Structure 1
């Protein structure tokens, strides 16, 4: 990760560069604020350590300019200062600083603060990459609209409602909810491996084509398992893998790809299954009109205990008004008119 140092004191700058270099960072250095600003515009620096007082542009003005940029990624800003007092802290925070390091700085303190900065930057990058990958896979099907945006909101609603369910107590906390929200857009990532003549077919799929379509769960699950093997501490990959493998399993064991039943299906997959089907039912495609919320509700109720976990259906009923709010807020613009030949039913893909 590239770090920019803005420090006019040569000795302090050399020490900073040495400490950060030993920690594995790629360091750029400037001796005044204006030069630092120019370096920042020409390089991908996600962390800035700036002295407060510098020639040509001070640290506060540099921080304000960083915050005024609209470049789509967050820059973590640490002010390096010998100033004390709450009024200076307030002034720095108002300029947009994330953290402060007091001069003369302690190397171990700087290391800890850099790790905190890296976590913030890495989390933003991770979330952006995950959703970008999911949207890239989804882009092969131009009719999906805001599917990913809606589904992750539906998933969050279900998770929050399930917190009150006795069977889910101790299994759903804020961390689980965040992981579900983060990972759920990857549920259909395996569709990148499905041929266009199957994925984009406007008519009903043959049995052979249906078998091919169902392989998206295996492709997605296997791909995410490989990523998890390389990064075993990445819990979002574990949840994403569970979802990719199991969001088409059924509670009665008649789903795919492995015919899992009941609680053998991970909770993440049981939640995703309902959110995915509800969105498929209530959105328009070239091969079908959108069903009303009321009709979709009846289908979900009919599937309680067969297709869907009863507790998840109950969570849907408890959060029904929230589903309607999200559906209205993130509704798609009108797609193409329906074709004469009906395609695959939304609950079977």
Structure 2
């Protein structure tokens, strides 16, 4: 990651540069705000460390100028200052600074601030990546409506319920819930590798076609596993891989692709398995009508211990009302959207154009 240090004090700039290079950063120094801004415009720097008091363009003005432009990616901006009073802090925040470092600073403190910047930037990259992959999945699937939106809401509801259970306290916390919410829309990303003749078929699949369809967890899991190899510390990619790979496994071992059973199936896979089935049951598809929420509940109860983890079913029963509310709310949103589209298409409610 490239870091730009801007400070008219050459000694201070070089100390910062040497410290950061020691920890593996690629660093460039500039010694006034105007030249610093020209370097920022190159787009090469994700993190900028700028002194506040500089001739020509002070650090807060430089930060404000950076925030006024529409950059292709976020720039994490740290202000170096000898001012520690609240007035300057507020002024810097208004300018758009992400963090502050009071001179003279300790090298360890500087590195901590840089690590914070890296985490913020990685979160932005994560969210963009997950959104892009989810839209890719959506573009290939013939399941219309708000399937992905419902899926992540159902998964979040189940995980939130489990986070309050003592037996899951070591695994399910707020971070786990958020990761599940972000990654669950990728459960069917492997469908991008299924031929259109199978994926888009309006009727029931033949035995041979179903075997082809059953490959999508492996395709998705292997694709995301390749991403995990590149970024082995990215926990969200690990969860995305596990969801894609295991959401068609069944608790009794009769699922696919590996026939895993019980707690050998990762928890995220067991959670999304129930969410996916519930949404399939309560949504209209080309091959079936929409089931009532009561009918969906009955089918899930019948699958307790066979298809579904009994504990996940228990969590579902505890939050069934929330499931129904999500389903009804998003169905209403879709109906409103379709109504608006019809009005736009047929000119309903709009004055006729003069001939």
Structure 2 length normalisation: TM-score? 0.81
**Which residue of the partner structure matches residue 189 of structure 1?**
189
Q: Offset of 1:32 from its aligned partner?
A: 3.9
Q: Match of 1:139, SS?
A: helix
Aligned match of 2:97: 97
Question: How far is 1:319 from its partner?
Answer: 1.9
The question of whether the paired residues in 1 share the 8 Å contact of 2:2 and 2:47 is answered with yes
Partner of 1:295: 295
Match of 1:216 in 2: 216
Q: 1:164 to 1:79 in 2, by over 3 A?
A: closer
- Report the 3-state secondary structure (helix = DSSP H, G, I; strand = E; otherwise coil) of the residue aligned with 1:249: coil
1:305 equivalent in structure 2: 305
Paired residues, what number?
A: 335
CA distance in 1 between counterparts of 2:6 and 2:327 reads 48
C-alpha deviations, 1:225-252, integer Å up to 9, x for none?
Answer: 3443454433333333322222111223
Give the secondary structure class of the aligned counterpart of 2:77: strand
The equivalent of 2:348 in structure 1 is none
Question: RMSD of aligned C-alpha atoms?
Answer: 2.9
Deviations 1:258-308 (A, max 9, x none): 222333322221101011122223334444444343333333233233322
Aligned 8 A contact 1:243 1:272 in 2: yes
Structure 1 residue aligned with 2:350: none
Range that drifts further, 223-232 or 242-251:
223-232
CA contact (8 A) 1:47 1:75 kept: yes
The residue number in structure 1 matching 2:318 is 318
* In the alignment, structure 1 residue 235 sits paired with structure 2 residue 235: yes
Distance in 1 between the 2:154 and 2:44 partners?
35
- Superposed, 1:10-89 pairs within 5 Å as 10-69=10-69, 71=71, 73-89=73-89
Q: Distance in 1 between matches of 2:320 and 2:44?
A: 44
Extract unaligned runs of 5+ from structure 2: 340-355
1-structure distance, mates of 2:325, 2:65: 38
- Distance in structure 1 (CA, Å) of the matches to 2:174 and 2:268: 14
Q: Conserved in 2, the CA contact under 8 Å of 1:165 and 1:311? A: no
- Contact 2:203 2:286 (8 Å CA) reproduced: no
Tell me, in whole angstroms, the C-alpha distance in 2 between the residues paired with 1:66 and 1:214.
Answer: 49
Which range is displaced more, 245-254 or 104-113?
104-113
Write the distance in 2 (CA, Å) between the matches of 1:105 and 1:233: 29
Aligned equivalent of 1:115: 115
Quote the offset at 1:52 in angstroms.
Answer: 1.2
Q: Following the alignment from structure 1 to structure 2, what is the Cα–Cα distance between the partners of residues 167 and 121?
A: 34
Asked if 1:173 corresponds to 2:173, the answer is: yes
* 1:21 CA displacement: 4.1
CA contact (8 A) 2:198 2:209 kept: yes
Superposed CA deviations along residues 199-220 of structure 1, whole A, max 9, x for unmatched, are: 2222221111100000111222
- CA drift at 1:169: 4.6
Residue 165 (structure 1) shift: 4.1
Given that residues 158 and 312 in structure 2 are in contact (C-alpha distance below 8 angstroms), is that contact kept between their aligned partners in structure 1?
yes
